[in-house]
Amino acid sequence: MKKILVVEDAQALRRDIVEMLGYEGFDVKGAENGAVGVEMAHTYQPDLIICDIMMPVLDGFGVLEALRNNPATATIPFIFLTARTDRPDMRAGMELGADDYVTKPFTAQELIKTVQTRLEKRVNIHENAERRIEELRQNIILALPHELRTPLNVIMGFSDLLVYDAETLEPPRIADMAKYINNAAMRLYRLVENYLIYAQLEVACVNPEQRNILRQGKCANAHLVLEEQAKFHLSKPHPPTEPRQNDTTLTLAPVSSIRMSSEYVKKVIEELLDNACKFSDAGSPIAVTGEIQGSHYVLSVSDKGLGMTQQQIDDIGAYSQFERKLREQQGSGLGLIIVKRLAELFDGAMSIDSVPQQGTKVRVLLPIGQSVS
């Protein structure tokens, strides 16, 4: 039985709505003002809330804001019940996170239909979330063990040789082993780092407090940060290819600041370049551009590599890799989904244009401060 909370200060109307929805098979409780409604929402944990706007103690906007700022109640469908139809009021409610409006006077059928629609939508959202969680679980089961074991085997194998055979090994051979151990350790470190970043971003998607903390960062002279990080990343080997700095052109327009921490800005360009290097051959061109468009800095990375189908683009997610059986690659599949989450959390976006066997262009919109003239 679905639970519904009705927050309405008019006693007769509140009683009518409670009885009306009760006849439809819902478990319904009523609250006489906004403050009581917020308290009952936490204890009752309804599947949907119907709330008046104009109320004593705490109005409907205050109720909605309080509920959306608490993770325990942030996703409960919320319907405003009001006699006020002013566009500014409706817009204010939607910006706070209201799901729908029912305008007084209304018929029983209108209210019941609105409630059923919102509950059905919540079920669909829940089922979609469960499907994505199951996909993530399966991807982790398939990909993560390999990504952990491969560098660990290298570290353990070569370190074992150094422990037991160091006295018989020539210095050049020891140096080679140390290089392999270091590369494997860096691969393992990046895997753990990306996993932690991904987990942090997923929490921020549903936790307003954590999201506000992440959004406080700022990167000054972001074009210089992007350029420096790009050159550093491209100078490193990208197995099975060599460094790609000679394949890459950088055209980054000056920008005074991006409203994102410098560490996250570095992560964005690192993951975009890593993806371009993995799926294009050494010697083929990679282009990195940055330009100011309105209130965003548009960062683009394009390659002439393997390309992606529309289905692959739609399925981008954690621990998802493409064509692994056909093309050697390293990584957990976290790169693009981390970039996508970062862009969205900072009021930006990520888009991908790609043609199989021709290449890919990834565009990321990052919010800017004042541009450099």
pLDDT tens by residue, 254-295 = 999 999 999 999 999 999 999 899 889 999 999 999 999 999
In a domain, 321, yes or no: yes
Domain co-membership, 24 together with 82: yes
Domain co-membership, 219 together with 361: yes
pLDDT tens by residue, 48-64 = 999 999 898 999 999 99
pLDDT tens by residue, 344-370 = 999 899 999 999 999 999 999 999 975
In a domain, 121, yes or no: no
For residue 159, give its domain range.
142-211
pLDDT tens by residue, 61-112 = 999 999 988 888 988 999 998 876 666 666 777 777 788 888 888 899 999 9
For range 176-194, the mean pLDDT: 89
Compute the mean pLDDT over every residue in the chain, rounded to the nearest whole number.
Answer: 86
Domain co-membership, 42 together with 164: no
The per-residue pLDDT for 323 is 43
β-sheet with 27-31: strand ranges across = 27-31, 3-7, 48-52, 78-82, 100-103
In a domain, 195, yes or no: yes
Domain co-membership, 205 together with 222: no
C-beta atoms surrounding 311 within 10 Å: 7
The per-residue pLDDT for 16 is 94
- Domain end position, chosen among 81, 106, 131: 106
Domain co-membership, 94 together with 156: no
Domain co-membership, 44 together with 162: no
Domain co-membership, 75 together with 9: yes
DSSP secondary structure of 247-281 = GEEEEE---SEESS-HHHHHHHHHHHHHHHHHTS-
The per-residue pLDDT for 200 is 85
The total number of residues shown for the chain amounts to 373
In a domain, 192, yes or no: yes
- Domain end position, chosen among 84, 106, 128: 106
Find how far residue 25's CA is from the centre of its chain: 37
- pTM for the complete prediction? 0.60
Domain co-membership, 218 together with 201: no
- Domain end position, chosen among 211, 236, 271: 211
In this predicted structure, the answer to whether residue 326 has a pLDDT above a threshold of 60 is no
For range 108-123, the mean pLDDT: 91
The per-residue pLDDT for 32 is 95
In this predicted structure, the answer to whether residue 304 has a pLDDT above a threshold of 90 is yes
**Residue 277 maps to which CATH number?**
3.30.565.10
In a domain, 129, yes or no: no
Q: Is 49 in contact with 77 (CB distance < 8 Å)? A: yes
In a domain, 186, yes or no: yes
In a domain, 122, yes or no: no
Give 328 or 295, the one with higher predicted confidence.
295
User: Which CA distances in Å does 119 have to 28, 79, 124, 221, 257?
Assistant: 14, 11, 9, 47, 43
In this predicted structure, the answer to whether residue 240 has a pLDDT above a threshold of 80 is no
The per-residue pLDDT for 90 is 67
Structural domains of the chain, count = 3
Q: Is 47 in contact with 4 (CB distance < 8 Å)? A: yes
Domain co-membership, 247 together with 335: yes
Domain co-membership, 205 together with 238: no
DSSP secondary structure of 207-246 = -HHHHHHHTT--EETHHHHHHHHHHHHHTS-BTTB---GG
